[in-house]
Amino acid sequence: MRFDILTLFPGMFSGPLSESIIKRAIQSGRITVALHDIREYTTDRHRTADDTPYGGGAGMVMKAEPLAACIRAVLAMPHGAVAGVAPVILLSPDGQLFTQRVAAELAQYERLVLVCGRYEGVDERVREVLIDRELSIGDYVLTGGELAAMVVLDAVARLVPGVIDAASITEESHSDGLLEYPQYTRPAVWEGRAVPPVLISGHHGEVARWRRRQRLQRTLARRPDLLVRAALTDEDRAYLRTLGWCGDDAP
């Protein structure tokens, strides 16, 4: 899978792309990340990529010409059989909330183009003509879209086959609308706190049942809003009702 990232500050990506799982995914060829400096598409000697907003107001706005030229040049770059076929996604506080479901959807593409907004935003005409989708990683404002692009890259890349063990994804938080169960490792007793006996019982069926119930308990306690959309069985619903859950219409 290929990620094309358009930014005014490509240096911000050097750390995240050279560490841990993303680094190994790049080295193995499972993902490709190409950084594109929007300033390289400016036409003046000062490499001006922003200007004051029409109508007045604080801050600066990303200019249409260099950003549009960068997007069009990137889309024209070949990537196997999918040259030019990729959604252009603007990272913006105005966008759709980025969730695990959206990450899974984006992981189905062979290529994504991520545009990092800056300052007060981008010229609206570029959004109208060249942006296919806008995403936000939360209801807050960052200084730019670079950190948001890193989040999207990380969340999507780990869903690409072979990047991480597939079994690690199946029961983690938000994979099916529930939060993940508690995790433990050696030693069996730490500062007087013991690992739950079921986890060292060797009874795989009981371990699975315990973990499922822990996921239900944790979701109810921390994010009860998720239960509305979670994939619940009749047994899950019955167990949740014993915990005081009243969000089920079943008798």
* Residue 228, C-beta contacts closer than 8 angstroms, at least 6 positions apart: 247
Does residue 80 have a pLDDT over 60?
Answer: no
Confidence of residue 84 (pLDDT cuts 50, 70, 90): very low
* Residue for token pair 């490709």: 32
Average of per-residue pLDDT across 156-163? 96
Q: How far apart are CA 44 and CA 24, in angstroms?
A: 39
Q: How far apart are CA 97 and CA 151, in angstroms?
A: 12
CA distances from 248 to 179, 215, 216, 219, 245 (A): 18, 17, 14, 15, 7
This prediction's pTM = 0.87
Average of per-residue pLDDT across 60-77? 96
* Residue 236, C-beta contacts closer than 8 angstroms, at least 6 positions apart: 212, 216
Confidence of residue 173 (pLDDT cuts 50, 70, 90): low
CA proximity to 1, closest of 174, 166, 158, 168: 158
| Contact in structure between 175 and 169 (CB atoms under 8 Å) | yes
**Res 201: pLDDT:** 96
Q: How far apart are CA 125 and CA 239, in angstroms?
A: 52
Q: How far apart are CA 154 and CA 148, in angstroms?
A: 10
Burial class (CB in 10 A: 0-12, 13-18, 19+), 87: middle
In a 13 Å sphere around the CA of 127, the CA atoms on its Cβ side amount to 16
Interval 9-62: pLDDT, tens: 999 999 999 999 999 999 999 999 999 999 999 999 999 999 999 999 999 999
Could you tell me the domains of the chain?
A: 2-157 (3.40.1280.10), 174-242 (1.10.1270.20)
**Res 62: pLDDT:** 96
Interval 198-222: pLDDT, tens: 999 999 999 999 999 999 999 999 9
Does residue 168 have a pLDDT over 80?
Answer: no
